[in-house]
Structures are given as C-alpha cells and as structure tokens.
Structure 1
Amino acid sequence: MTQRSFETRRIGETNLSVTTLGLGGASLAGNFTRVPEDQARATVAHALELGITYVDTAPQYGLGRSEHLVGEVVRNASPRPVISTKVGRLLRPVPPERQDKGNWAEPLPFNQHYDYSHDGIMRSFEDSLQRLGLDRVDMLYVHDIGTVTHGVEGNRPYWAQLSGGGYRALRRLRDEGVVGAIGLGVNEWEVLMDAFALGDWDVFLLAGRYTLLEQTALAPFLATCVDRNASVVIGGPFNSGILVGGDTFDYARAPEAVVRRVREIGAVCRDFDVPLPAAALQFPLAHKAVCNVLPGPRSPQELDEILAWWETDIPPELWTALAEKRLLAPGTPIPGGTA
C-alpha cells in the first residue's frame, strides 16, 4: 500500500506535529452501532498504513473499549503515531443490570463517573495508560466539561475541581514531560474561552462548532487561539452525519432549518461537481488555528471513502460562491481570502 503525503501542522508551540487528517476513535467503539473488534483494529491499522499520524481516543468511548482496541494496534507501530486521550471520567466496574450503556452498542462492563480534580485527572491518566498498554500519550484533553454535558448548575462543582487542582495536574504532567500537550475536548466553544482564564493550553478538540454548516466558534474563540498560539483539532466535521447524507445533527434529528441550510450548501457543491462531504472535510483547514480534522470511520472502507473526499480537488470558486450566498459567516477564512 502506498502511503499518502499528508500535510503536517504543529501543535501550538510544542514539539508535536500531526497530519492534517486524523482518526477519531469514538465510532470504532460502537457508538450507536456495533463494530466488530477485528474491524476496529483493521481501521486503525489502515490509517497508519496510509500515513495518518494522529489517533484520538477516550475512556468514554465504549467505556474503555476504544482505548483497548487502539492500544493493541499502536503500541507495536513503528513509528508510533501521536496519541491523544482524555481525562475527567473514571470507569468503575458494575454488574450488567446496573450498567448505564448510554449510546454504546457493546461497552465494557463499567459505568463512568465524572472527576475533574487533581487526583481524579491523575488517576484517569494512569488508567488510560493501562488500557492502552502504553508508557505515555502525547496529548491529554479534559473531556466534556461544560454546560452542554452537565448543565449550568451541574457544571459549577466540576469547574471548581478543574480550576482548584485539575489544571495543576495537567500542567504537572506537561512540565514533567509525561505528556507533550494539554487541552480540552468539548462540543461547545464557550467553555474554552473560560479555560483561557485558567492558564495556557496547547490544543483544543472542538466538535461540531466550526464546520461547513456552522461557524459559531469563529470569534472570539478561534481568534483567541491565534493570539494565544493554541491549536484546534476539529472533531465532528460532518455534524453528526447531516453533511454525509444523514438526518442527525448534534446527535439528534436535525431541525428543518438545518436541513434547509444543508440543501443550500449541497446545491452549491453540485454546481461545482464536488461531493458535499469533501467540502465539509476540507473546509476547516483554511483557518490558521486549525491543525487537524478528525473524522471517525467505522471500517477501512469508510476510511477509504473519507480519503477520496479528502483528496478531491475543490475549485476556489466554490468557497467564493458559498460566501456570496451567505452560507458562510462573514469573516470566515476561505482559500484566497475571507467570506
């Protein structure tokens, strides 16, 4: 198999660089739909064979399943890719009748418990190393802190944990060289602005808020990232499937206004004979804060389809047409200028 020549971008001011296309590990763990373990491992292996050098996972994904599957492949890879995982959830064994499986088709026999404290983050990190079977990971994200997951009042004690000791734990891990970069991985940009008040971060994983469909994170968040030399990984580039022909947006049935906007964007793409998913994948990289786009294929075949979209030649006029039809937020970076 011929490796692709991917562009690489640096993570903040660290020594880490990643290919601009990465591999997300949530779907591999059976998010909504079962994924056979051999298929999941083959997908990770295929990504590495293609030349992708960044793989993301988390304790939440399959309640430990994703970290186990990713670790089985990457620990023997040479060279080893950049690996990120997440903290903020501890997994505790539970009898089957008491398990909260959430959206996971076949999770491991654990329930998750939130803990963003100093000791909770250190424990979460150590547990992840054991599940991965690795001596280190490269990037560590605080996972799903914020009002989207916890509500306004529910988030207050968790934020107090992060500000009161959790951030210190992350800084300690980075300063000691145990991890190369620290950040947050969330579905809302507002909490990332709050995070800037705590201190310096290297990278953020933001899902769904800076996509071809939605650019709400453009200002002030992405502008602040440029000013603070923090990189951004874009998760959920297809907005939960609506940009690849599905009917879900933010993990729920898409409202009519969203469906209508997707139709309008799709019509422009058809005018230029460009698949809508190709435009969705390539769009975020025009912003200089963005270092990586992170789709989550379920199989080597899905990854090959993503790669075909990734390599689609998109004429600059497509982006200009989207801007002229006001389908991109004013000021959105596009190749050759801004919307």
Structure 2
Amino acid sequence: MQLSRDDLKRAYERMFLIRTFEERVEKEFSAGNIPGFVHVYVGQEACGVGVCFDLTDDDYIGSTHRGHGHCIAKGVEVEGMMLELMGKASGLCGGKGGSMHIADLKKGMLGANAIVGGAPPIAVGAALTQKLKNTGRVAVAFSGDGGANQGTVFESFNMAMVLRAPVIFAFENNGYGEFTGQSYACGGVSIAERVRGFGMPCEQVDGMDFFAVREAMQQALEHARGGNGPYALEIRCKRFRGHFVGDPQNYRSAEELADALASDPIPRFRRAVTKAALLRDADFDEIESAVQTRVEAAVRSALAAPMPDPANDLTRDVYVKYA
C-alpha cells in the first residue's frame, strides 16, 4: 500500500517522538527524577513504528522491558507515560508501573514486561480472544534475541500453530541479550530458522529501515487476519545505547558503536523521503519542532504533578473482590 504524505508525516512524527522522548528520559533519569531502572529504545524506532503502523486500537501488543518505543508507536500518549515514569499519581498506571510496566488497554497496549520473553504467552491468549470473537484483529508479541531462548516462547510458538491463533511474533534482534552477544548465546544463531521449525512462516527484515519493516508487517497482517494462523518477523536492528541507562558498554568496541550510529533509521527515513520529493525539509523541521515542544510540556507537567497518597493509593488496584 502506497503511503500518502500524511502517512509519511505520521511515521516520521512517531519515530522522532520516540527518539526525543527517550533522550529526555535519559536526562531526567540522570537527574534523579525517574526511579528504578530505565532501558531506552534509541536506535530501534523504525522497528516499533513499522510494526505498529497499520495496527488499530483494537489490535493488541505485548511489550518488553524496553517498551517506551512500543507504547508510542501504538499511539499511547507521552504525557501519561512521562507521569508514569516519574511515579506520579496521574500516570497511566497510577504511578505503580513505572518504566518497565506501562500499559494502556484503551490503545491495545497490554503492558511492558520485565520478564524476558514475557509477551509471547500473553499475546497468544489475546490473539485467541480475537479469534473466538471473530473480530479479524490480531495480537503482536514483541521480544528480543534474548527472549528467543526462553521455553515459554517456544511453547507459545507451538500453541499458536496448533490453535491457528492470529498472533505475530516480532523479534527485535539487536544482537544483545542484556550484555551477552547473540552469536554466543543463541544456538544456531538464526531466530527465523528456529521459528520455521514449528511450521510458522518467518521473515528476516532490516530493522533500520521503516519501509522494509512496514512492508514485512503488512504481509504478516494479511496472513494472520486471513485466518492462516501465526507469523513471525526477525527484525535485525542495532541498539545505540547500553542495556540500561548508565551501562558503560565495555563489551562493545568503539568501532561497533560507530557502525551502529551510522545506520540511524531517522535520518535514513528523512533522506529517502526528501530524495523522492514526497516531503520537504520544511515539513520535517515543522514535525520536529512540534515534537520537541510536546515532550518539553510533558516533562514540565510530570515534574509538577503530585505523587500518590500512600494512605489512599497503597493498596488500590492490588486486591480485587469477586462477587
């Protein structure tokens, strides 16, 4: 499907919003305004935006510990996200989820997940809901090369194939499970070959290219929405930062980091679109200015917002009574 000018603007806005949000998160975390650990999505923007571009609010996604980018790609508001990261009462999860547990069910975002490989089993269940209700919608499970080693992920493959669940497994292979290289920790190396062993189609795609990811995802959606069962993508990408904010990355060479930065998906998108004369530099500049203003406003609002009240909020949403 050909992208319109508005589509191109939306894609760039989402990618640039992720980058700007994450860079500001790094700054606020370093200033002590965000508690806990933070894992940013810098460098992988084309993955999340390409996968989520043609999803609706009624399609589900399950995320990872590096989930801010997935949230934004799915349309979750950054204002509520920043409040949540800072642990504020008006955050998306009342300040109780934080960086690794943001969820927004109104947007079909089932939650970031600190459990490695935690999203696939949840997404299979969500996909079965869609199948049983005959909605024509899908569920997407984001995971990484580290998650690809988990037994629950293999069980999810098998169940999805047996029950022909409309689920798409999106493996963002950035080459590292925390601090360990995939070539060392992954037997057979290719995630796609592992997936195909279950009889499931899996395509390898350049995760630094929005257009390539989006095209592959369109094929996956056509397959899953058409009642043909699950599909998988091995999205090869490069992580610009360490595993967490503050990681010195002693396990990576300066040359490797420089090579990663040279493949930045955001200027790559801008160059391709301007070269094709589909958008002008002025269009991109306008988008970037609006995004920067929006993120700055979200930070100001979050810094000024009240913390939860322990007396009223400590046990709220923890216990549920069933009639």
Place the TM-score, normalised by the shorter chain, in its bin: 0.3 to 0.5
TM-score of the aligned structures, taking structure 2 as reference length: 0.35
Q: Which has the higher contact order (CA 8 A, sep 6+)?
A: 2
TM-score of the aligned structures, taking structure 1 as reference length: 0.34
Question: Which structure has the highest helix share of the two?
Answer: 2
